Structure 1
Amino acid sequence: MLEVKDLHVHYGVIEALKGVSLQVEQGKIVSLIGANGAGKTTMLHAISGIVKKSGGSIAFLGNDITKAKAKNIVEQGLIQVPEGRRIFTGLTVYENLMMGAFLRKDKEGIQKDLQRCYELFPILSERTNQDAATLSGGEQQMLAMARALMAQPKLLLLDEPSMGLAPILVKEIFSIIEEINKNGTTILLIEQNAKMALSIADKAYVLETGNIVLEGSGKELLNSANVQKAYLGG
């Protein structure tokens, strides 16, 4: 579904990604873990067309999107939930969800997906007319994910969905991620909570200073002595 080959990204003289390659198969959850500054968010921004690539290629559903604009990438069904949620304050929960559907014209489909989001995130239904700024951190994360689902993603990119959340909310968010995947959405997950990210991943990669240093199934990396020592406190 997604194939990244030998991807390079520079910020001035600094090389943030140094020839990264990864694949995401349709219907799977793929996790990319690594420390702060490893290049995880840069990876997602490169895939989404937000940052310029200095080498390599990205293909999505067989189409070369290496030089595609972000809007065109979204139109193809590749949707990102950014780090820090980036919800629209000053707009209600409902208005935020409608922003996720701004490229769509199918009114019936939009309403159907809205109800699906309210079923998946019941708290959003209760808060539908509230200013999104009044939501808790966990509720804002749910809103950011629901807003992305309103765009009908074929591939959902999640950037640090557990950041700043209490442990009980982290479990809830990851449970919802699994549910979204079971409903047919492929997921590429960027996450510092390595244990949670690997526990739900079909496949996983470890990124260190712009390089992929390990890859395997989520279970294999969860049991890897190197990963346990570096990321799991083992």
Structure 2
Amino acid sequence: MLVLEDINVYYGAIHALKGISFEVNKGEIVTLIGSNGAGKSTSLKTISGLLRPKSGKITFKGENLAIVPPQSIVAKGISQVPEGRRVFANMTVIENLELGAYLRKDKTEIKKAMQHVYELFPRLLERNKQISGTLSGGEQQMLAMGRALMSQPELLLLDEPSMGLAPILVKQIFSIIKEINASGTTILLVEQNAHMALSIANRAYVLETGKIVLSGDSKELAESEEVRKAYLGG
């Protein structure tokens, strides 16, 4: 479904992604794990068109994304939940969700998508007229995910969904990620909580300073001595 081949990305003189290659197959949850500054968020921003690779190829369902503007990438079926949630703080919950469907014209389908979001996140229905900036961190994370789902993406990019959340909320968010995947959405997950990420993913790639140093079945990686020492505290 999504294939990155030999991607190189720079921030000025800094070589942020050094020839990385990976793929995400339809129906999978794939996770990128690694420490801060490893290139995880840069990878997602490059896929969604917010950063442009200096070289390499990104294809989604066989189409080259490197020449497609970000808003058109959303229209092609890729939606990103940014790190830090980035909800529109001065707008209500329902207005944020409606913005997630800005490219869509079918009111009946938008209504169905909204219903699906409220089923996944009942708290948002309770708070639908509330100003988003007054929500808790967990509620804002739910809203950011709900907003991304309003475009009915085939591939959902999640950037650090557990950041800053209490452990009980982290479990809840990861349970919902599994539910979103089970309902047919493919997921690429960037996450510092390697233990949680590996527990729900089919496959994983380990990034270190802009390079992929390990990849494979997530259960096998969770049991790998190298991964346990570096990321799982064992």
Alignment TM class, shorter chain as reference: over 0.9
- The residue type paired with residue 151 of structure 1 is S
Aligned to 2:49: 49
Q: Distance in 1 between matches of 2:70 and 2:114?
A: 24
Aligned residues: 234
Query: Unmatched 5+ residue regions in structure 2?
Result: none
Aligned to 1:167: 167
Query: How big is the shift at 1:12?
Result: 1.2
- The residue type paired with residue 114 of structure 1 is M
Aligned to 1:106: 106
Aligned to 1:117: 117
Query: Unmatched 5+ residue regions in structure 1?
Result: none
Q: Distance in 1 between matches of 2:89 and 2:140?
A: 10
Q: 1:218-229 maps to which residues of 2 (within 5 A)?
A: 218-229=218-229
Q: Distance in 2 between matches of 1:116 and 1:81?
A: 17
Q: Distance in 2 between matches of 1:78 and 1:111?
A: 20
Aligned to 1:91: 91
- The residue type paired with residue 135 of structure 2 is L
Query: How big is the shift at 1:146?
Result: 0.3
Query: How big is the shift at 1:61?
Result: 0.8
Q: Distance in 1 between matches of 2:205 and 2:83?
A: 19
Q: Distance in 2 between matches of 1:67 and 1:40?
A: 21
* Secondary structure of the structure 1 residue equivalent to 2:190: strand
Q: Distance in 2 between matches of 1:185 and 1:90?
A: 29
Query: How big is the shift at 1:68?
Result: 1.3
Q: Distance in 2 between matches of 1:116 and 1:67?
A: 32
Normalised by the length of structure 2, the TM-score is: 0.99
Q: 1:1-234 maps to which residues of 2 (within 5 A)?
A: 1-234=1-234
* Secondary structure of the structure 2 residue equivalent to 1:109: helix
Query: How big is the shift at 1:67?
Result: 2.2
The one-character-per-residue Cα deviations of 1:37-83 (angstroms, maximum 9, x if unpaired) are 00111100000000121010000011011121101111101110000
* Secondary structure of the structure 2 residue equivalent to 1:51: coil
Q: Distance in 2 between matches of 1:149 and 1:45?
A: 18
- The residue type paired with residue 28 of structure 1 is E
* Secondary structure of the structure 1 residue equivalent to 2:47: helix
* Secondary structure of the structure 2 residue equivalent to 1:4: strand
Q: Distance in 1 between matches of 2:2 and 2:175?
A: 24
- The residue type paired with residue 105 of structure 2 is K
The one-character-per-residue Cα deviations of 1:140-162 (angstroms, maximum 9, x if unpaired) are 00000000000110000000000
Normalised by the length of structure 1, the TM-score is: 0.99
Percent identity reads 64
Structure 1 outlier segments of 4+, above 2 Å: none
